[in-house]
Chains A and B, each alone.
Chain A
């Protein structure tokens, strides 16, 4: 069977609308993701706030607009997949999943604790988590494998991979960029949360991967470069369903580490792993509340 052709037809015409109720505007959900991520980081007393906050808008657009999901059936075979390759940002992903109904928000209390559902880095034992991550560089390949699995079996789902700055320094990521470009895996979309700060310093000082848009384009990807905090720009880059036999899509999302919390924005300290005090949490929540009007 020519699965590519089959998929083109499927993707083009029969794709059902996203499942579940989520009428809230993505900007508001991004605020809720930030609020909840900080809450669970506060409970844990460790973890990575900066990179969680930088990808909150991306996750809000994906989980509350773009992805086709059935939260009551987390392993639904035709669901869209998401791999958070920058697994240390899982507080934001957990918040998106809880807000989408995959599990109860009371789980936040035991984030990173023995007996808790929410591991320090993503684990497939958590409903809604499609791939383990936390060791940088393996996410794009796992997403590629999912997309190839869909292609082989004629399943019309999309696969999204959120990459961090650190992922771009891992050789494994470049192997995946090469393969996905050559194989024209159109159902695969990578979003680079380019916040410019990594664990121990600014990216350009540790190991610059620029000019990333040009590099990835030469690997056979369709590249978009946007402000990763602009909801409309994210929607424009992510919503349109691609052809299956087409270049994969790479979205360079320029972001600010710690976005939304004034005292965390673009500050190395808040990469993590750090504790958020009760006072800091209250101040951050108040700031998010004040700035939440879209």
Chain B
């Protein structure tokens, strides 16, 4: 597959913003594929798309700060055979233009790739307005939409071209703050497939995005206490890798989900919906409880809102107590 030609990447352990990787993925992919254009709403400096905008001005369409028009125009563009990559902050792309995304993009299955930065409390000091905590809930409930959440910069290099290869509309999350690299540069991503990051026998942790690294930290620490955690990177939130999750839950007997998103309707909801139908086991959902974010340092906010490694480890212990 064409992805093999992406041979650059970052060394595990480095801290790299997924925005940086998104910009690089755009530029690398542009050299191989001429069928996509970037749609910007005056935020290319913030989304990571700036290097592409500068190198490929003829493939960038500027809409100004008017996301409803941008999104419905993306639908029209896609209907002519181009692939529009919509790049903006999640609150604007997912929320401001939500009905346009639902009715003009998703309903007729337009190949619009909605790639949004600024998600969760990971946004940090900008505060609640930009800290979108509801995007997974509202995108995954729309028919025809694929929802992808890369966990690190190396995954982003693979995930972006994958959005172009995936038919129809795709929503992809792009973290803002530097995040630890946990995947090899050669990581293979498939829509509908989770990645087993660590094998374990006592509890399954299903995480997505920046929380995968935190889940691995939590698993590491718990291992010292004799608790064996399996960690799955649920890169493909929709379609969810139900088979892998059910198989793992059947082996471990309990699942903890972890996401920088509201506890309502996100990855936790998706996993719980799957398990309750196919293999009910106790589930603990790690996410932001039903409230808005606030300004602060991203790491401090992760601790404050209970979406850090500490919170994941605590949820594992709660789960084991419930099961005892």
Chain A residues in the interface with B (C-beta under 8 A): 77, 81, 83, 123-124, 130-132, 134-135, 137-139, 141-150, 152-153, 155, 159, 171-172, 175-176, 178-179
Q: Given the complex, which residues of B lie within 8 Å of A130, measured CB to CB?
A: 79
Q: Given the complex, which residues of B lie within 8 Å of A138, measured CB to CB?
A: 68, 72, 99-100, 103-104
A contact face: mostly helix, strand, loop, or mixed:
helix
B107: Cβ under 8 A from any A Cβ: yes
Known: A132-B103, A179-B63. A172 touches B76 (CB 8 A): no
User: Does A131 lie within 8 Å of B68, measured CB to CB?
Assistant: no
User: Does B81 lie within 8 Å of A145, measured CB to CB?
Assistant: no
B residues 57-76 touching A (CB-CB < 8 Å)? 61, 63-64, 66, 68-76
B contact face: mostly helix, strand, loop, or mixed:
helix
- Interface footprint category on B: 20 to 34
Contact of B79 among A137, A145, A175, A178 (CB under 8 A): A145
**Which residue in chain B gives the minimum CB-CB distance to A85?**
B72
B residues 108-123 touching A (CB-CB < 8 Å)? 108
Known: A131-B108, A144-B73, A145-B74. A153 touches B79 (CB 8 A): no
Name the distance in Å between B53's Cβ and chain A's nearest Cβ. Answer: 16
User: Does A176 lie within 8 Å of B73, measured CB to CB?
Assistant: yes
User: Does A132 lie within 8 Å of B104, measured CB to CB?
Assistant: yes
B37: Cβ under 8 A from any A Cβ: yes
Q: Given the complex, which residues of A lie within 8 Å of B80, measured CB to CB?
A: 77, 145-146, 149-150, 153, 155
B314: Cβ under 8 A from any A Cβ: no
A241–B120 Cα distance when bound, in Å, is 49
For B85-105 the 0/1 string (1 means CB < 8 A from A) is 000000000000001100110
User: Does B69 lie within 8 Å of A152, measured CB to CB?
Assistant: no
A-B contact pairs, 19 of them (CB 8 A): A123-B107, A124-B107, A131-B76, A131-B108, A138-B100, A141-B70, A141-B76, A141-B104, A142-B104, A145-B73, A145-B76, A146-B76, A146-B79, A153-B80, A153-B81, A172-B100, A176-B73, A178-B66, A179-B69
B137: Cβ under 8 A from any A Cβ: no
Contact of A141 among B72, B78, B84 (CB under 8 A): B72
**Which residue in chain B gives the minimum CB-CB distance to A159?**
B76
User: Does A135 lie within 8 Å of B99, measured CB to CB?
Assistant: yes
User: Does B81 lie within 8 Å of A131, measured CB to CB?
Assistant: no
B82: Cβ under 8 A from any A Cβ: yes
User: Does B69 lie within 8 Å of A149, measured CB to CB?
Assistant: no
A134–B100 Cα distance when bound, in Å, is 12
Interface centre among A142, A143, A149 (most CB of B within 10 A): A142
Known: A131-B104, A138-B103, A141-B100. A149 touches B68 (CB 8 A): no
Known: A143-B76, A152-B37. A175 touches B66 (CB 8 A): yes
Interface centre among A77, A150, A159 (most CB of B within 10 A): A150
A269–B58 Cα distance when bound, in Å, is 50
A-B residue pairs, 10 tightest by C-beta: A145-B76, A149-B80, A141-B72, A145-B73, A175-B69, A175-B66, A142-B76, A146-B76, A145-B77, A124-B108
User: Does B108 lie within 8 Å of A148, measured CB to CB?
Assistant: no
Q: Given the complex, which residues of A lie within 8 Å of B103, measured CB to CB?
A: 132, 134-135, 138
